[in-house]
Protein backbone atom coordinates (compact mmCIF):
# COMPACT_ATOMS: atom_id res chain seq x y z
CA UNK A 1 0.00 0.00 0.00
CA UNK A 2 1.29 3.48 -0.81
CA UNK A 3 2.19 5.80 2.06
CA UNK A 4 1.70 9.55 1.73
CA UNK A 5 3.59 11.84 4.09
CA UNK A 6 4.31 15.53 3.75
CA UNK A 7 2.43 15.57 0.46
CA UNK A 8 4.77 12.99 -1.09
CA UNK A 9 4.51 9.28 -1.75
CA UNK A 10 7.29 7.66 0.28
CA UNK A 11 8.57 4.22 1.22
CA UNK A 12 7.38 3.07 4.64
CA UNK A 13 10.35 2.66 6.99
CA UNK A 14 8.18 0.74 9.49
CA UNK A 15 7.82 -3.03 9.18
CA UNK A 16 4.49 -4.43 10.41
CA UNK A 17 5.16 -7.24 12.85
CA UNK A 18 2.30 -9.65 13.53
CA UNK A 19 1.46 -10.68 17.08
CA UNK A 20 3.11 -14.10 16.78
CA UNK A 21 6.17 -13.09 14.73
CA UNK A 22 9.65 -12.64 16.16
CA UNK A 23 10.80 -9.04 16.50
CA UNK A 24 13.57 -8.01 14.11
CA UNK A 25 16.78 -6.99 15.87
CA UNK A 26 17.03 -3.70 13.98
CA UNK A 27 14.77 -1.26 12.19
CA UNK A 28 11.50 0.52 12.77
CA UNK A 29 8.59 -1.74 13.72
CA UNK A 30 4.82 -1.32 13.85
CA UNK A 31 2.87 -3.61 16.18
CA UNK A 32 -0.78 -4.09 17.12
CA UNK A 33 -2.17 -2.61 20.32
CA UNK A 34 -2.61 -6.17 21.65
CA UNK A 35 1.09 -6.96 21.28
CA UNK A 36 2.08 -3.51 22.49
CA UNK A 37 0.05 -3.66 25.70
CA UNK A 38 1.13 -7.25 26.41
CA UNK A 39 4.82 -6.38 26.21
CA UNK A 40 5.11 -2.61 26.26
CA UNK A 41 8.14 -2.53 28.57
CA UNK A 42 10.10 -4.87 26.30
CA UNK A 43 9.05 -3.04 23.16
CA UNK A 44 9.76 0.51 24.35
CA UNK A 45 13.17 -0.51 25.71
CA UNK A 46 14.13 -2.21 22.43
CA UNK A 47 17.31 -0.50 21.27
CA UNK A 48 17.09 -1.71 17.68
CA UNK A 49 14.96 1.03 16.19
CA UNK A 50 11.80 3.11 16.24
CA UNK A 51 8.52 1.81 17.60
CA UNK A 52 5.01 2.37 16.31
CA UNK A 53 1.64 1.02 17.39
CA UNK A 54 -1.59 0.42 15.47
CA UNK A 55 -4.31 1.78 17.74
CA UNK A 56 -7.95 0.84 16.98
CA UNK A 57 -10.58 3.52 17.24
CA UNK A 58 -12.60 1.60 19.84
CA UNK A 59 -9.79 1.68 22.43
CA UNK A 60 -9.37 4.46 24.94
CA UNK A 61 -6.50 6.73 23.94
CA UNK A 62 -5.66 7.24 27.63
CA UNK A 63 -4.25 3.69 27.70
CA UNK A 64 -1.59 4.87 25.25
CA UNK A 65 -0.71 8.21 26.86
CA UNK A 66 1.97 6.91 29.30
CA UNK A 67 4.03 5.66 26.34
CA UNK A 68 3.69 8.55 23.90
CA UNK A 69 7.13 10.00 24.57
CA UNK A 70 8.69 6.68 23.50
CA UNK A 71 6.62 6.12 20.35
CA UNK A 72 7.71 7.33 16.93
CA UNK A 73 4.39 6.47 15.27
CA UNK A 74 0.75 5.99 16.20
CA UNK A 75 -1.40 4.54 13.41
CA UNK A 76 -5.08 5.21 14.00
CA UNK A 77 -7.58 2.94 12.29
CA UNK A 78 -10.58 3.96 10.18
CA UNK A 79 -12.48 0.64 9.90
CA UNK A 80 -15.16 2.32 7.78
CA UNK A 81 -15.43 5.67 6.03
CA UNK A 82 -18.52 6.35 8.18
CA UNK A 83 -16.66 5.83 11.47
CA UNK A 84 -14.92 9.04 12.55
CA UNK A 85 -13.69 8.13 16.04
CA UNK A 86 -10.07 8.22 14.84
CA UNK A 87 -10.50 11.94 14.11
CA UNK A 88 -11.22 12.51 17.80
CA UNK A 89 -8.29 10.31 18.82
CA UNK A 90 -5.98 12.30 16.53
CA UNK A 91 -7.10 15.65 17.96
CA UNK A 92 -6.67 14.36 21.52
CA UNK A 93 -3.18 13.04 20.79
CA UNK A 94 -2.05 16.29 19.16
CA UNK A 95 -3.83 18.93 21.23
CA UNK A 96 -4.34 17.47 24.71
CA UNK A 97 -1.39 15.10 24.96
CA UNK A 98 1.15 16.95 22.77
CA UNK A 99 2.14 13.96 20.63
CA UNK A 100 4.70 15.14 18.06
CA UNK A 101 5.53 11.82 16.39
CA UNK A 102 4.05 10.54 13.17
CA UNK A 103 0.28 10.22 13.27
CA UNK A 104 -0.83 7.86 10.50
CA UNK A 105 -4.34 7.25 9.18
CA UNK A 106 -4.87 3.64 8.14
CA UNK A 107 -7.81 1.50 7.06
CA UNK A 108 -10.56 3.16 4.99
CA UNK A 109 -8.60 6.30 4.12
CA UNK A 110 -10.51 8.00 1.32
CA UNK A 111 -9.39 10.91 -0.82
CA UNK A 112 -12.46 13.04 -0.07
CA UNK A 113 -11.65 12.94 3.66
CA UNK A 114 -7.96 13.74 3.28
CA UNK A 115 -8.19 17.45 4.15
CA UNK A 116 -10.26 16.68 7.25
CA UNK A 117 -7.65 14.13 8.34
CA UNK A 118 -4.89 16.69 7.86
CA UNK A 119 -6.81 19.21 9.94
CA UNK A 120 -7.30 16.65 12.72
CA UNK A 121 -3.53 16.26 13.00
CA UNK A 122 -2.67 13.30 10.76
CA UNK A 123 0.57 13.71 8.85
CA UNK A 124 0.81 10.31 7.12
CA UNK A 125 -1.76 8.30 5.20
CA UNK A 126 -1.73 4.59 4.41
CA UNK A 127 -3.89 4.34 1.29
CA UNK A 128 -5.09 1.38 -0.75
CA UNK A 129 -4.61 2.66 -4.32
CA UNK A 130 -1.76 4.43 -6.07
CA UNK A 131 -4.27 6.82 -7.69
CA UNK A 132 -5.48 7.89 -4.23
CA UNK A 133 -1.90 8.46 -3.11
CA UNK A 134 -1.28 10.69 -6.12
CA UNK A 135 -4.50 12.63 -5.45
CA UNK A 136 -3.53 13.04 -1.78
CA UNK A 137 -0.16 14.48 -2.65
CA UNK A 138 -1.91 17.15 -4.73
CA UNK A 139 -4.59 17.88 -2.11
CA UNK A 140 -2.05 18.87 0.52
CA UNK A 141 -1.11 21.87 -1.65
CA UNK A 142 -4.69 22.93 -2.42
CA UNK A 143 -5.66 24.85 0.74
CA UNK A 144 -3.49 27.28 2.66
CA UNK A 145 -5.99 29.12 4.91
CA UNK A 146 -8.74 27.68 7.12
CA UNK A 147 -11.43 29.31 9.23
CA UNK A 148 -11.60 26.69 11.97
CA UNK A 149 -8.79 26.03 14.45
CA UNK A 150 -7.64 22.42 14.39
CA UNK A 151 -5.02 19.92 15.45
CA UNK A 152 -2.61 20.45 12.55
CA UNK A 153 -0.93 23.46 14.15
CA UNK A 154 -1.93 26.02 11.54
CA UNK A 155 -3.52 29.20 12.81
CA UNK A 156 -7.01 30.11 11.61
CA UNK A 157 -7.83 32.97 9.22
CA UNK A 158 -9.22 34.97 12.16
CA UNK A 159 -5.98 34.64 14.12
CA UNK A 160 -3.96 35.58 11.04
CA UNK A 161 -6.04 38.75 10.67
CA UNK A 162 -5.68 39.57 14.38
CA UNK A 163 -1.91 39.13 14.17
CA UNK A 164 -1.79 41.38 11.11
CA UNK A 165 -3.85 44.09 12.83
CA UNK A 166 -1.69 43.88 15.93
CA UNK A 167 1.45 44.24 13.83
CA UNK A 168 -0.04 47.21 11.96
CA UNK A 169 -1.10 48.97 15.17
CA UNK A 170 2.34 48.41 16.66
CA UNK A 171 3.89 50.00 13.56
CA UNK A 172 5.69 46.89 12.42
The structural domain count of the chain equals 1
Residue 147 has pLDDT above 60, yes or no: no
Residue 132 has pLDDT above 90, yes or no: no
Q: Is 62 part of a structural domain of the chain?
A: yes
Q: Is 161 part of a structural domain of the chain?
A: no
Q: Is 166 part of a structural domain of the chain?
A: no
Tell me the CATH number at 14.
3.20.20.70
The tens digit of pLDDT for each residue in 14-44 reads 999 998 888 888 899 999 999 998 887 778 7
Q: Is 163 part of a structural domain of the chain?
A: no
Buried residues in 45-83 as b, exposed as e (16+ CB within 10 A): ebeebbbbbbbbbeeebeebeebeeebbbbbbbbeeeee
Section 1-9 average pLDDT: 84
Q: Is 103 part of a structural domain of the chain?
A: yes
Domain containing 23 equals 3-142
Q: Is 18 part of a structural domain of the chain?
A: yes
Q: Is 148 part of a structural domain of the chain?
A: no
The tens digit of pLDDT for each residue in 41-71 reads 778 777 678 999 999 999 999 999 999 998 9
DSSP-based three-state secondary structure for 22: coil
Q: Is 169 part of a structural domain of the chain?
A: no
Amino acid sequence: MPLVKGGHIIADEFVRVTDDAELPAQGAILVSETRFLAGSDTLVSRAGGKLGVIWPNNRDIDDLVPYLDRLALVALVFPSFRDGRAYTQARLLRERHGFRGELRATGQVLRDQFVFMLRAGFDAFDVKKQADAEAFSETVKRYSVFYQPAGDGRISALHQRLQQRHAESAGL
